[in-house]
Copies of this chain bind each other. A is one copy, B any other.
């Protein structure tokens, strides 16, 4: 038995589910799981279908669906898997460590193509996993030069996603545009609280009783892109900034792990500045 994954995004219309189900049935596929969502304010339809049955002609199925759906529909049948991922880091190890371990033991989930660091701190660790590490310094360097150097490497690997695993640099609008909805960042606060720099220091000053982390797609507006998933943990008055950082790292790695897991299973659609997550 083969399994076929179908992703659909199009304008909403009456009878869409019926048309989709009919095409799938005609291909002798059974719908094992179907999740759909209608954004009524935008009149947009999103669906994710897991089907099983005889081997399907992917191109034909895609074509048939597109024909039956409103103009401009985006239909994907059996998207690439595992996703190729390039990880961008600075000095902190916790998120990278979690990703590399997963890459090592769960090769069907993700495929880490390379790690790029603007510092060398994580080089030997990455080497230990036999994953290529590139040191691209941004010191005394214009951002466009820095980004050009990164782009050259990235073009070689053609990653599906860029994961900013505590990459403490701000990317240019031009760079971000090249990877629209394909750059995932982990921000160390429950956004929109404490956007920008030093969120744990901000949290300490404010005396909050929760800290958290947010995984989101990167857009040109810092810390304002579509949120994929976020989580909080309880803290109290005894936490210093350093203790918040340490406790926060556990949440950061869990949240980024979850986001990568969702994206690698094609469970996340972007819809303007929001996401639809078919968990």
Contact = CB atoms under 8 A, between A and B. Distances in A.
A53 B36 CA distance: 18
Contacts of A279: 236
A118 B98 CA distance: 24
Given A192-B206, A210-B232, A227-B209, A30 B14 contact: yes
A278 to B, nearest CB: 9
A136 interface: no
A238 interface: yes
Interface stretch (A17-25, A80-88, A174-182): A17-25
A260 to B, nearest CB: 12
Contacts of A22: 18, 21-22
A32 B38 CA distance: 7
A207 B238 contact: no
Contacts of A194: 192
Contact of A104 (B18, B125, B250, B273): B125
B128 A237 contact: no
Nearest to A192: B193
A227 B206 contact: yes
Contact of A275 (B18, B105, B207, B274): B207
A232 B233 CA distance: 9
Interface string A212-238: 100000000000001111111000111
The residue in A207, A258, A274 that gathers the most chain B C-beta atoms within 10 A of its C-beta is A207
A170 interface: no
Nearest to A124: B104
A103 B98 CA distance: 14
B34 A36 contact: yes
Interface string A247-279: 000100010011000000000000101111101
A73 interface: no
23 contacts: A14-B53, A16-B31, A17-B17, A18-B21, A18-B22, A18-B24, A31-B36, A34-B34, A37-B237, A93-B104, A97-B101, A104-B125, A190-B210, A191-B193, A191-B208, A192-B194, A192-B206, A207-B275, A209-B277, A210-B212, A237-B275, A237-B277, A254-B254
